[in-house]
Structure 1
């Protein structure tokens, strides 16, 4: 244990990866700001220095006042925000208090999808045409003004949560009604974008230090994200020396420079269209799903360790250790209903490419509520010789991993 124990303030809803790591570090003391409805997600509040509840962690003034009250008792060495819902708040607090780390201006550019697109567009990077619907009541008229087909999502949403495709007038009526799939889960502002026609989608995951991209891993999704809900989903690494990976890594660097990121990890989504590459969105936090574990297996790159280091303003010596082969994660879908049967744990024991299988559901589980892009029945981590081997493996795994339900999925459920 070091002579100086650092006090860390974590602003967070439910993301647990960094909370767990901070609590396990004897040189760190954790103070938490969260919302009442999220408190049950924290099993170790007795190990925290303090726990403060606010109505909304995205209410900057409410959180600011709570932090000023805490500062009467504690001197914080670092402020940590682990997800889109709290990264801007953490940035605002750093800017307000003059603390090191991602500032509010940069955090806003990464987490406010409207601001992000505006900044990328001004830097000359290709993004989808977008419109901001400022109020809940603006959804229908602004969708008509923007034109269809379109994608609508919360300006401050987490990942792919609550993202909807609207194709016609009936879709406008459904998506704009109170209690509908959009407004029951989030509130305005909403970003409306052109529905980009593409067949290939990628992600780049990087490490940025002192304003320079020190590492980039390029991966390709098994299928487009928006079309993968309810079906098998995942991604696989591309060879670093391939022309495809080099082209995408170069675009990743341009996006990082445009948003003026100094220190963090990144997760960038890119589409390949008939007219070239189009930037989707970028986050200054680790990717979700099976991305972190795949990067650890493929490169020895622990995205959460590096993210925490940048949040704590620590230097972390690391050199990529590329492993042989193509690494992939395959996520098996889950749907609403009551689970009646799941595959046995040994379902893939005779498949040499499958190195790890995690099953997330059990018979009797009730599946309901909002299903996210990362909602799953299970996940397999695999390694094959080359990207050419991926499609056949995914087909074989999909045929074997089936989940049965006692109750059918409700009509019209997403």
Structure 2
């Protein structure tokens, strides 16, 4: 008897991890909805059942009409959005069509930062005081009304992209300028928040089933996420029995309860202040950068595999397999310009703690456009015996992994 083939509709801009997994699974057949400017990112469109282009994957009505046309030919078993730009759209389609999975109100709360903070605040959880600037023209007056210092960011966005700290009137003028760093990359609404002074920053990565959280991994960033762009960046795992991990595991469950999530994989950011923990943001998808590979190495947990399983309503039977030691990922940044030299693949050959090195940049790459917190020249996955060894190891790797920029021999774009 032949295996039943399930049709999966993915609404997506450029995120590739989930698309490649579906294409490799012979029991799944992929249909894609994306934007014309994103199509070049897909190298395997010939292996897809269908490809539909829309002007904007966040335009709910345009995508709805496109899906209704597809339903004339296909019966979809699941509709999936793998990133903040399309998670709410996928939720809207499920709610509209009465399909299983994360409904629109929950998906919206995980991706619209203003709605997220409102729900968390209503549940009694600590978040930064915030104001919504509804129009591009609202940015300057609403920043002045909110008070400084503040942080302003798109209400919809991920990867710490287009997030700006505003400290004085000159910053207000720059950030509200048409064609400036904020408005040239996104349009309103924008979320304005208090700039929170904090001591440490953490992330919790978890599996949610039936509203419960059977697995949570807690990690600590080397430094503030907001200051990471252009710097060596990463995080390391904390022991499950540490006080920090236990407190943040309880906090993560409270955040999931407040937002009404039933089944998914999550990535939560938390700040530790003198007065306690403050919830930053949470996503109902796997974390970026080196987080997925670190979770696989440290616990045997593949977040994209479990994310796909929950989206298909076929949760996996799995138990954590904790590995010895402290696991960390060290990401080496890129900056705007043309890459002229990158380190050799054996740059860390004599550093026993480095178990895997991936170099993504190459000479001739032109780095332009918006840079995210996870924009990288390369990433090293490491293991140490203790968290006490992490600072010295990161310093060593930072000093050795250098990228040079200059006049290119080629004009390849990155």
Same fold by TM-score, threshold 0.5 exceeded?
yes
Distance 1:266 1:315 in 2: 15
Matched position secondary structure for 2:83? coil
The alpha-carbon deviation at position 386 of structure 1 amounts to 1.0
Residue 362 of structure 1 is matched in structure 2 by: 362
**Aligned residues, how many?**
407
Distance 2:405 2:54 in 1: 38
Q: Closer, same or farther in 2 for the Cα pair 1:290/1:4, shift >3 Å? A: same
- Say yes or no: does 1:278 pair with 2:278: yes
The alpha-carbon deviation at position 2 of structure 1 amounts to 5.2
Distance 1:85 1:358 in 2: 27
Distance 2:42 2:154 in 1: 26
User: Normalized against structure 1, the TM-score is what?
Assistant: 0.97
The alpha-carbon deviation at position 159 of structure 1 amounts to 2.7
Residue 35 of structure 1 is matched in structure 2 by: 35
Residue 154 of structure 1 is matched in structure 2 by: 154
Distance 2:175 2:137 in 1: 11
Distance 1:2 1:287 in 2: 36
Distance 2:6 2:362 in 1: 41
Matched position secondary structure for 1:327? strand
Residue 377 of structure 1 is matched in structure 2 by: 377
Distance 2:170 2:2 in 1: 62
Residue 10 of structure 1 is matched in structure 2 by: 10
Q: How does 1:149-298 map to 2 (within 5 A)?
A: 149-298=149-298
Residue 142 of structure 2 is matched in structure 1 by: 142
The alpha-carbon deviation at position 336 of structure 1 amounts to 1.2
> Residues 57 and 63 of structure 1 are in contact (CA less than 8 Å); yes or no, is this contact kept in structure 2?
yes
Spell out, residue by residue over 1:207-247, the C-alpha distance to the aligned partner (whole angstroms, 9 max, x if none): 00011001000000000011122111000000001111101
* Deviating 4+ runs (over 6 angstroms): none
Structure 1 gaps, min length 5? 408-414
> Residues 2 and 27 of structure 1 are in contact (CA less than 8 Å); yes or no, is this contact kept in structure 2?
no
> Residues 339 and 364 of structure 1 are in contact (CA less than 8 Å); yes or no, is this contact kept in structure 2?
yes
Residue 412 of structure 2 is matched in structure 1 by: none
Distance 1:376 1:81 in 2: 24
Residue 115 of structure 1 is matched in structure 2 by: 115
User: Normalized against structure 2, the TM-score is what?
Assistant: 0.97
Matched position secondary structure for 1:377? strand
Structure 2 gaps, min length 5? 408-414
Spell out, residue by residue over 1:337-379, the C-alpha distance to the aligned partner (whole angstroms, 9 max, x if none): 1222211111100000000111111122211111110011111
> Residues 266 and 284 of structure 2 are in contact (CA less than 8 Å); yes or no, is this contact kept in structure 1?
yes
The alignment's C-alpha RMSD in Å is 0.9
Distance 1:302 1:293 in 2: 8
